[in-house]
Structure 1
Amino acid sequence: MTSQPDALASAPPRKRWGVATVSVLVAAVVAAGCGFAGFLSQLRGTESRPSRTADGIVVLTGGSSRVSDAMELLAGGYGKRLLISGVHPLSGASDISRSLPDNQSLLNCCVDLDRSAVNTRSNAAETRRWAHERGFKSLIVVTSNYHMPRAIVELSHAMPDITLIPFAVVGDKWREEPWWSNSATLRLVLSEYVKYVAAEVRVRLADIGLDVMREANDSLPPAAPRPPATAQANSAN
C-alpha cells in the first residue's frame, strides 16, 4: 500500500502546490486567530485606578474622556505633570480650559501640550522627549482600552528605560454592549488589531536594525531591544 507522503510526493506538481498553499493558508488563519485572541485578552472591560503613582502622566488624544480622566489622575496626585499628546495645532490651552473648567489651576501649573504628534508613533517620540527632558523614570499612560496595546508597543520601544503604567479608558459603548454586537465597534477593534500587529512587526524589525519606516521627527538614536510589550505593561502594574 502506498503511504500518504509517498502519494503526495508522486502527485502532479500542481496538486502539490495546491496542498502546500492550503496548508499555508490554514496556518496563517490559525496564527491570526491566536494573535487576535491574545490582543483581546489585553483589552480591559472596566476602569481601575493605577496601583502606584508615577513621575508623570501622558494622555494620547483621540478618544472621548481620555483627557478628563488624565486630569483626574493628575488632581489625585498620581503624577507630577501631565502631557497631553496630539493636541490639534490650532487648539490652545484656552480651548482645553473651557472643556475642563474645574481644573484651571492644574492646567496653568502642571500641564504641557504636544501639538506635533499626528499618530501613535509620533506620540511616543514626543513623549520620550518630554520625559527625558524632565528626568522622569515612570509614566502613567492614558488612552482608550482598544488603543492601549499598540500604545504600549510604541511607547515601550521608544522608551525602554521608562516604566509604563497603563490606565485604560473604557468608553460608554464598550460598557453598554459586547463589542462584537455593534458593527462600528467591531470594525474599530479589527482595525486596531491590524495596526497593532503592524506596530509589533515594525518595532521587532527595528530591534534588529531594520527600521524601514523611520520617521523624520524621530531624531533620537534607535532604542535598545525591549521585552515583549504586554509583559512590560503587566509588570508595571
Structure 2
Amino acid sequence: MAFIRKRIVLPLFILCVISLGLFLGGFIVFSDHVSTLQAPDLTVPADGIVVLTGGYSRIEGALELLKNKRGERLFISGVHASTNRNELQRVTGGDATLFECCVDIDRSALDTVGNAAESVKWANANHYKRIIVVTNNYHIPRTMFELQRASRDIEFIPYPITNTNLRDGNWITRGLVVRVLLVEYVKYVGAIIRYQLPARLSDVTTSLLHRIKG
C-alpha cells in the first residue's frame, strides 16, 4: 500500500510544484508586461474610440482622445443603468457639446465579455475598422483577448490608463497592487481556458469567474 501511495503521491506532488511554478512565473510576466504598457502612437487617427467603465479616469482619458480628434465617436460601454448622460458628463468633466454630438453610451454590458460584444456591435453599426480601446493597464490583456475573440475584422489599438506608475518594478512590494494584478491575472487565465473547453464546461467556468469581484 505504501508503495502504491508513493507512486501516486510523488507524481502528484511534483505536478503541483510544476503547476505552481508555471502559475507564479506567468503572473510575474503578466505583471511586468502590464506595468510597463505605454500609450500607442496615434499620429494616424482611428475610426472610433471605445472605453470600458470601471473608473472615471478611463472615461476622462477617452474624452481627451475624442477632443483631440483621435477618433470620430466615443462608445462608453458598461455604464450603470441609473447613470444618465448629463450626470456622466458632469462627473467626468467632459465638454457638453462634445458629449451630445459624439458620445454613445451602452448600459447593457455587465462584464468584459459583454463590453467586447457591445463594442463590436457599435463598431459594425458605424462601419468602423480601427478602434482605440481605453481601459486600465492591468485590464488590457483580457480586454484585447475578448475583443479579438468577438471580431477578427476590426483592428483594436490598446490605450492603457495608468493610475499608479509601476514602471520601476516595485509593484511586487505593494500589497494592494499585487492583489489587483493577481485577481486580473486569474481572470485572464480563466478567459483563455474557457474558450478551450466544451460549451457546458465553459459555462461553468464563466459562472465561477463572475463570482470573483473586480
- Measured against the shorter chain, the TM-score band is 0.7 to 0.9
Q: 1:32 aligns with which of 9, 23, 45?
A: 23
The structure having more radius of gyration, on CA atoms, is 1
| Matching of residue 104 in structure 1 with residue 90 in structure 2 | no
Cα separation, partners in 2 of 1:36 and 1:17, compared to 1, 3 Å: same
**Offset at residue 98 of structure 1 (A):** 1.0
d(CA) in 2 for partners of 1:31 and 1:114?
38
d(CA) in 1 for partners of 2:34 and 2:10?
37
Cα separation, partners in 2 of 1:114 and 1:77, compared to 1, 3 Å: same
8 A Cα contact 1:128 1:159, kept in partner? yes
Identity %: 39
d(CA) in 2 for partners of 1:120 and 1:198?
13
Q: TM-score normalized by structure 1?
A: 0.77
d(CA) in 2 for partners of 1:47 and 1:194?
23
Structure 1: runs of 5+ lacking an equivalent:
1-10, 216-237
Task: Give the partner amino acid of 2:76.
Answer: I
8 A Cα contact 1:80 1:110, kept in partner? yes
d(CA) in 2 for partners of 1:30 and 1:177?
20
Cα separation, partners in 2 of 1:44 and 1:165, compared to 1, 3 Å: farther
d(CA) in 1 for partners of 2:38 and 2:182?
22
**Offset at residue 37 of structure 1 (A):** 2.8
Instruction: Render the CA deviation track for 1:54-80: whole Å, top value 9, x for unaligned.
Output: 111100010241000000111111111
Helix, strand or coil: the match of 2:34? Answer: coil
d(CA) in 1 for partners of 2:3 and 2:97?
77
Q: 2:107 aligns with which of 115, 130, 154?
A: 115
**Offset at residue 48 of structure 1 (A):** 2.5
**Offset at residue 135 of structure 1 (A):** 1.1
Structure 2: runs of 5+ lacking an equivalent:
207-214
Task: Give the partner amino acid of 2:153.
Answer: D
d(CA) in 2 for partners of 1:172 and 1:37?
18
Task: Give the partner amino acid of 1:212.
Answer: S
d(CA) in 1 for partners of 2:200 and 2:151?
18
d(CA) in 2 for partners of 1:128 and 1:213?
22
CA RMSD for the aligned pairs? 2.4
Instruction: Render the CA deviation track for 1:180-220: whole Å, top value 9, x for unaligned.
Output: 222222111111110010011113447xx7783299xxxxx
**Offset at residue 179 of structure 1 (A):** 2.4
What are the residue-to-residue correspondences of 1:10-29 with 2, within 5 Å? 12-29=3-20
Match of 1:133 in 2: 125
8 A Cα contact 1:146 1:189, kept in partner? yes
Match of 1:81 in 2: 73
What are the residue-to-residue correspondences of 1:1-237 with 2, within 5 Å? 12-45=3-36, 47-51=38-42, 52-172=44-164, 174=166, 178-205=170-197, 212-213=202-203
**Offset at residue 178 of structure 1 (A):** 2.9
**Offset at residue 47 of structure 1 (A):** 4.3
